[in-house]
Structure 1
Amino acid sequence: MDGIVIGEGVVLDARSTSSPVRLLAALIDLALLAVVVLAILVPLTSVLSTTEHTARITAVVVAATITVILPTTVDTLTRGRSLGKLALGIRIVRDDGGPIVFRQSLVRALVGIVELWLTLGSVALITATVHPQGKRVGDILAGTYAVRVRGSAPRRAPLMMPPMLAGWAHSADIARLPDGLALSARQFLGRSGNLHPTSRVQLGTRLSGEMQQYVNPLPPPGTHPEAFLAAVLTERRDRELVALQRARHRDAVEATQLHRLPHGIPDPVD
């Protein structure tokens, strides 16, 4: 399991894509590309004259479209999910985990002229096989990364309020938690059962100590760190949900008032 470090310094779990999976996705894209090119090229050649000059121009345009224009356009518009990648559940993302943009798509396509087309994909296959993250040369130069987006993160069970801490949590003053701390605590509770007992105790105690800075009063003495974490996260989630519902109701009321005619004149009835 690899880690992608996002801009906030949080490590996200992500499964790198193996070279055979990327090869199969590329073959699917290549088959679709061949169908599209044939569908366009056959009617086009019957319309254009068959002079040598026209044939050269047509060949250059077709080659540029196949190798650069189409791959760049597809990757940019789909955010790194062509048909082959979509079928196999993978996506091309930036090294920081964000979606790729036109610049990364163009670099990957230009480098692909050599490593994919001129070498029949052998350079890309070798590089992706030996690279620890399965990157080809275009990914290295563009700063991109192929990750699994289907089945890489199992669904977590929703957090539940520990019954013995419900009364304390409802009356406690719980400040807004930093995003990094809240995410770390949520990930810890989701995988605590798979951790070594010693690591589980150490990590739970550390996260509990960090979270106590945002809670007043502290939980009853002897509270288990994991129960404390679950109680705080659950209470913050419920409070933020209530606040969001109130804000939406307030916005709806204000929008209704703003759309009414001024000076108490009733709205016309259709």
Structure 2
Amino acid sequence: MMSAVADEQEILSGEAVAIDVQPVGFVLRAAGALIDMAIGFALFLAVTWVQVWLMSEGLLSEHTFRILMISAAVLSFLVLPITIEVAMRGRSVGKLAVGGRIVRIDGGAITFRHTFIRALVGVLEIYMTFGGAAVITGALTARSQRLGDLVAGTYSQRVRTPALPSHQPPLPHSLRGWATIADVARMPDRLARRISQFLANAQRLSPAARSSVAQELAAEARPFISPVPAVSAEELLMGITVLRREREQRALKMSDERAERLSGRRIGV
């Protein structure tokens, strides 16, 4: 089971593995919500049109028409979102389009209770205010949470990860033995980006500049490595990058498998 959130973009698994997670941004989340709203309104208008036609044909009384209108609104704006989100394990058509999934604050799978609360509050903040209340709360919260998320304790997590960069340095042959015992700690994001940028552009640097930058980056990275292999600075940077890439791929795979497993157990509870 997931433990507490280490920070807003990192979760610690039960095995104490740090998994980077990102909430869906405000603009993308708004776009996904518009898609879901359009589907809800489309269903409502379709059902309403059928009822109006039946009434015009004398097949419905005015009293029955009013009852069916309320039923159509409940079906379109409450039952439909709940059914889709439960069936798709935290997703909807709009969330699929923007690459998001609704999860608990601790990163775990949501249950029927979370979905019901979000949909119930959503009737007020999305449909009755045409999204105005959701826009205000989403713009003021760090994870773009709408009011329903704040009440239910959920947020929209990005599950569509960007494609890996085309430049993928191979593990140097001299580091294959070291890679089986190496421990590379979590590095500052700025340092990791600088290393990746250096390796991507190393071929364009002059030999002197290439060696100088590699030495500087390797010196900054050594405190995060154990043991430190006796190789050139550039080989060390390549080894670090390969190990971090493999670790992040395993963590992302583990996160997806855990979410799917928990969803299968808990949806409908």
Residue 227 and residue 52 in structure 1: after superposition, are their counterparts in 2 closer, same or farther (change >3 A)? closer
Amino acid at match of 2:70: V
Instruction: Determine if contact 2:21/2:158 at 8 Å carries over to the other structure.
Output: no
What letter matches 2:33 in structure 1?
Answer: A
Distance 1:30 1:235 in 2: 39
Task: Please give the secondary structure, in 2, of the residue aligned with 1:134.
Answer: coil
1:22 corresponds to: 29
**1:151-183 deviations in Å (ceiling 9; x for gaps):** x534055562213334xx1xx7946x8xxx679
Contact 1:208–1:225, Cα closer than 8 Å, also in 2:
no
Asked if structure 2 preserves the Cα contact closer than 8 Å seen for 1:17 and 1:90, the reply is no
Q: Decide which structure has the larger Cα Rg and report it.
A: 1
1:155 aligns to what?
164
Correspondent of 2:11 among 5, 11, 32? 5
Query: Partners of 2:179 and 2:96 in 1: how far apart?
Result: 46
Secondary structure class of the residue paired with 2:78: helix
Shift of 1:51: 2.7
**Which structure exhibits the higher relative contact order, with contacts defined as CA atoms closer than 8 Å and separated by 6 or more residues?**
2
Taking a change above 3 Å as real, the CA distance of residues 206 and 76 of structure 1, as seen in their structure-2 partners, is farther
Distance of aligned partners of 1:119 and 1:199 in 2 relative to their CA distance in 1, 3 Å threshold: farther
8 Å CA contact 1:6–1:96 kept in 2: the answer is no
Aligned twin of 1:268: none
Which residues of 2 match residues 82-161 of structure 1 at below 5 A?
A: 82-150=92-160, 152-156=161-165, 157-158=167-168, 160-161=170-171
Cα separation, 1, equivalents of 2:54 and 2:36? 28
1:205 is matched with which residue?
A: 222
The residue number in structure 1 matching 2:253 is none
1: CA distance between counterparts of 2:225 and 2:78? 52
2:67 matched to which residue of 1? 57
Partner SS, residue 124 of structure 2: helix
Change (3 A) 1:7 1:45: farther
Q: Distance in 2 between matches of 1:113 and 1:201?
A: 55
Residue identity matched to 1:204: A
Counterpart code for 2:221: G
In 2, distance between residues paired with 1:136 and 1:110?
A: 12
Residues 48-77 of structure 1 deviation map (CA, whole Å, 9 limit, x = unaligned): 843344234313322221221111111222
Cα distance between partner residues in 2 of 1:234 and 1:67: 43
Cα 1:124–1:155 shift into 2, 3 Å: same
CA distance in 1, matches of 2:107, 2:124: 26
What is the RMSD of the two structures over their aligned residues, measured on CA atoms? 4.2
5+ residue gaps, structure 1, are: 213-217, 237-270
Could you tell me how far 1:17 is from its partner in structure 2? 1.2
Q: Which runs of 5+ in 2 are unaligned?
A: 1-7, 199-212, 248-269
Q: CA offsets, 1:172-217, max 9 Å, x none?
A: 7946x8xxx67948x99974335999995577324322xx4xxxxx
Higher mean Cα deviation, 57-66 or 187-196? 187-196
Provide the identity percentage: 29
Structure 2 letter corresponding to 1:193: S
CA displacement at 1:219 relative to structure 2: 4.6
Partner of 1:267: none
Structure-2 residue corresponding to 1:76: 86
Matches within 5 A, 1:181-192: 184=186, 191=193, 192=195
1:14 is displaced (CA, Å) by 1.8
